[in-house]
Chains A and B, each alone.
Chain A
Amino acid sequence: MIVQTAFAEKAQEKALSVRELTKDYPGVRAVDTVSFDIDRNTVHCLVGENGAGKSTIVKMLTGALTPTSGSMAILGRDYEPGSTQDARESGVGTLFQELHVVDQLTVLENLTLGMEASRFGFLVKSDLENRVVKTLAAIEPTIDPKARVSSLSVAQKQIVEIARAASSGASIIIMDEPTAALSEREVERLFGVIRRLRDSDVTVIYISHKLDEIFELGDNVTVMRDGKHIATKPLAEVNGRPELIEMMVGRAITHDYEPRGEIAGNPVLNVKGLSNHLLKDVSFHVNEGEIVGFYGLVGAGKTEVARAIYGADKADGQIDFKGRKRAASPKEAIAAGIALVPEERRTQGLFTELTIRRNIPIMNIRKLASFGIFQDEREKEVAREYVGMLGIATNSIEKYAEKLSGGNQQKVVLSKCLFADADMLLLDEPTRGVDVGAKSEIYDLIRDLANNGRAICIFSSELEEVLGICDRVFLMYDGQVQATIKNGAEVDIPHILNVVTGGGSENT
């Protein structure tokens, strides 16, 4: 009895405790018996590579996902949110990457939204307003409560959202990559807000890829890797970026692929000085038969490079593909022999409402028509051929793409590109959300294509992926290619992580 009470008292000091938390997906254990504590009134950082399980944990904390097993407790009391609404009522607020403020209303109206006091259906003034105004003034006095939200900057809108969470009684606020869209000055301001929050009895869970921010802001850090908890410790005890990176990466990444270095084929793609709203003077070349990778964190500009080459976005600079001038539209790019597997499979690559058969020929649809009349029988043959060739697991070519698993959907998207007879493939996050088996099949396919003389560009935020398949890797940060490395046994992973998290590329 005495022991239990002592335990309960100790637990009460913890804003949040997580015990043996596990989340299984079919075939994947996204979070694996994770336990850690978050001290009250601290900024607690959560770090890990993509796929480490951070966002799954956040989703369980906010009630968006239910754990497979394990428990959570807030201030020692069991916490089992059934929905995001539940989480909010238990005092867990979240600052999402997409903002949920109403532009047309004033700051004050936004802060009291959903909590308005009313009498006979008419809104009445209440002390609620005084309270939220005080909260806002305490964390960011420069925002006028009467200002219309549409007149605020993104950073200010974020702060309004934080104030809303704080004034609705949140004791824990989760922030997932809050600085992704902010300028340096705005980041400083946000940090000020976060520190003031911490001093006013709020615990902040802070998730970011930018390690400098972690060191500047955090009190404690929890490192995740492959769904497992690696360590939780005060940042003061972490020996700088190298140790944090080492914990994040852990074991050396295993390759089953022998990188070939730069392939001495004819250069097929030459890019010089590519610039747009995000890219800054990006230059590189790709040779025939070569697999090159673009590695960087979300927002580093990888997708923008792919889309610019493909003619999907406007950009300044020179793009020379096989001596032709740049494509002004995806249509021209395909005609020139470039095909793109887009980042968002379900919304950009696939027609989920159509069958496999209808999806495959889309990028080269006229090949299946004579005089504009579509040859259904030819289409069926083509679909069967590609389903067999890529090993798409389906009982029928008439199956809706929507019903396929992630890996099979991606194979359909790849089939589209192959049917387009492309000489160069741009693959943006080619194995995101794809299970392990399909992943290695997709890698085999990519290698085959390269061996047959096609040039392949892989844009990925998974280091394991680029080191597992690419010959050369361009490291991107902040819209620029910071360094180029030849893949091989001697790659220096801490150095790579240092470069892509903004640590500069000196001592290459």
Chain B
Amino acid sequence: MTDQAVEGRRLAARDNRLSDEMFITSLVAGAAVALFLLASILVPNFFQFQNVVNLVTNNWAVISLGIGVTFLLVSGNFDLSVGGVVALSGVLAVWFAQAADGANALSSGWGMPTWLAMFCALIGAMLIGTVNAVFVVALRVPSIIVTLGTMMLARGIAQVITQGSQRNTNLPSDFGMLGNMAMFGSSIKMPVVLMAILILTAVFVERKTVFGRLTYLIGANPVASRLSGVDNARHVIKLYLFSAVMAGVVGILLASEFKSGFSNRGTLMEFDALVISLLGGVAIAGGFGSVIGMFFGAIILATVTSAATGLVLSPDWQFTLKALAVFIAIMAQSWALARRHTG
């Protein structure tokens, strides 16, 4: 083959890159649908509308966390602290709301009204986000290390407040309202609807706003973005605060749903949020990916685990299946990157 023919083919291959982002997202969506159909053939009674609804509703928490995590990944930063923040904010909300006159330490709190307790818990979550931002932005510590630290810090504080277990007594009667509120006269709960609204908002922000553009620019080339007048530091601070608020909201809603503050709640959720983002085609090096992709990544993970566990395999297989999903995600990831860089 002549050099020109090779060069021509190379250029033609590169032209296809125009739709890379859409391509990856469609691929993930297609994979999610295909997996669901496959599961429907293999697993009796899987092919039901209610099952589709369940796949989403059972995963509202992780998907909501995935929004903040995806934005940060696109900007080239990790957030492993979200699981810890879920535990901390839930425990704080309960602790602040518990009446002050409990019979023992675990049943006495600050006696705040529910709304104030939840608001203060959210402030607590933002403090963790602030710590992340300070270390990553001002002190330039790699984000994976910082957020690994705050992951343990947040859960550690939650464990101290709950003495290693949980607080669930002496709560105001309205504490369980938000997390259990049914919407539209159906069984769909408020947090699920909130997740849907957040996803749509995130997609709009990502595609249509200056804020979204800047997130991609910083991830694609932080040096060039700074020299082009982007305030990288300020933007990444906003992203960490946003991610912490998301985690705080999730933690508070879960605490409300179960009417308890449990220090082990949200364990490994930070990794699930990371896995669904990667499954959804977000580049671990930043600059590439989308919230829609992350959403379908979550559906893939949920389909695989729910179809297999309890129906085909025993629940003990859940981690092994997730591991498999992670490996596939990593391979798909490097395949996508190779396509981008050599294509």
Interface of A with B (CB < 8 Å)? 310, 312, 329-331, 333-335, 340, 342, 347-355, 358, 362-366, 369, 372-374, 398, 400, 403, 416, 420
Contact = CB atoms under 8 A, between A and B. Distances in A.
Going nearest first, the 8 A-B pairs with the smallest beta carbon separation are: A334-B229, A331-B229, A362-B228, A369-B210, A363-B228, A372-B209, A330-B229, A353-B220
Given A347-B221, A365-B214, A373 B231 contact: no
A398 B325 CA distance: 34
Interface residues of B, number: 26
A354 B14 CA distance: 13
B231 A351 contact: no
Contacts of A330: 226-229
23 contacts: A329-B231, A330-B227, A330-B228, A331-B229, A333-B229, A334-B228, A349-B224, A350-B224, A351-B220, A351-B225, A353-B287, A362-B225, A362-B229, A365-B213, A365-B214, A366-B210, A369-B209, A369-B210, A374-B212, A400-B14, A400-B17, A416-B228, A420-B229
Contacts of B123: none
A312 B224 CA distance: 11
B208 interface: yes
Nearest to B11: A403
Interface string B38-65: 0000000000000000000000000000
Contacts of A349: 224, 227
Contacts of B223: 347-348
A351 B217 contact: yes
A35 to B, nearest CB: 28
A372 B227 CA distance: 21
A400 B20 CA distance: 12
Given A312-B226, A347-B223, 18 more contacts: A329-B231, A330-B226, A330-B229, A331-B231, A334-B228, A335-B229, A351-B221, A351-B225, A352-B221, A353-B220, A358-B213, A362-B225, A362-B230, A364-B229, A365-B214, A366-B210, A373-B208, A374-B212
A335 B230 CA distance: 11
Interface string B196-208: 0000000000001
Contacts of B18: 355, 398, 400
B224 A351 contact: yes
B211 interface: yes
B268 to A, nearest CB: 33
Contacts of A366: 210
Contacts of B340: 353
Contacts of A329: 226, 231
A312 B288 CA distance: 26
Contacts of B230: 331, 362
Contacts of A373: 208-210
B238 to A, nearest CB: 13
Contacts of B209: 369, 372-374
A39 to B, nearest CB: 39
A340 B227 contact: yes
Interface of B: 11, 14, 17-18, 208-214, 217, 220-221, 223-231, 287-288, 340
A350 B17 CA distance: 18
Contacts of A420: 229
Contact of B224 (A347, A364, A372): A347
A374 B221 CA distance: 20
A312 B212 CA distance: 24
Nearest to B234: A331
A79 to B, nearest CB: 25
B210 to A, nearest CB: 5
Contacts of B217: 351, 362
Q: Which one of B208, B214, B288 has the greatest number of beta carbons of chain A within 10 Å?
A: B208
Contact of B211 (A340, A355, A372): A372
A342 B226 CA distance: 11
B263 to A, nearest CB: 39
Contacts of B208: 373-374
A9 to B, nearest CB: 41
B213 to A, nearest CB: 6
Contacts of A416: 228
A29 to B, nearest CB: 19
A354 B220 contact: yes
A5 B11 CA distance: 51
Contacts of B210: 365-366, 369, 372-374
Contacts of B213: 358, 365, 374
B133 to A, nearest CB: 18
A442 to B, nearest CB: 19
B123 to A, nearest CB: 25
A141 B47 CA distance: 78
B335 to A, nearest CB: 17
B14 A342 contact: no
A335 B229 CA distance: 9
A348 B227 CA distance: 7
A366 B226 CA distance: 15
B103 to A, nearest CB: 52
Contacts of A334: 228-229
Nearest to A416: B228
A333 B221 CA distance: 20
A329 B225 CA distance: 12
Contacts of B227: 310, 312, 330, 340, 342, 348-349
B239 to A, nearest CB: 16
A413 to B, nearest CB: 9
A373 B211 CA distance: 9
Q: Which one of A312, A366, A372 has the greatest number of beta carbons of chain B within 10 Å?
A: A372
Q: Which one of B11, B213, B225 has the greatest number of beta carbons of chain A within 10 Å?
A: B213
Nearest to B233: A329
A287 B211 CA distance: 37
A416 B287 CA distance: 20
A347 B227 CA distance: 11
Contacts of A358: 213
A331 B227 CA distance: 8
Contacts of A363: 228-229
A330 B213 CA distance: 18
A430 to B, nearest CB: 15
A351 B286 CA distance: 13
Nearest to A339: B229
Contacts of A403: 11, 14
Nearest to B231: A331
Nearest to B214: A365
Q: Which one of A329, A366, A398 has the greatest number of beta carbons of chain B within 10 Å?
A: A329
Nearest to B221: A351
Contacts of B226: 312, 329-330
A99 to B, nearest CB: 22
A398 B17 CA distance: 11
Given A400-B17, A403-B14, A348 B224 contact: yes
A358 B221 CA distance: 13
Contacts of A374: 208-210, 212-213
Contacts of A348: 223-224, 227
A330 B233 CA distance: 13
Contacts of B228: 330, 334, 362-363, 416
B281 to A, nearest CB: 15
Nearest to A353: B220
A502 B226 CA distance: 34
Nearest to A368: B210
Q: Which one of A352, A373, A398, A403 has the greatest number of beta carbons of chain B within 10 Å?
A: A373
Contacts of A310: 227
A351 B224 CA distance: 7
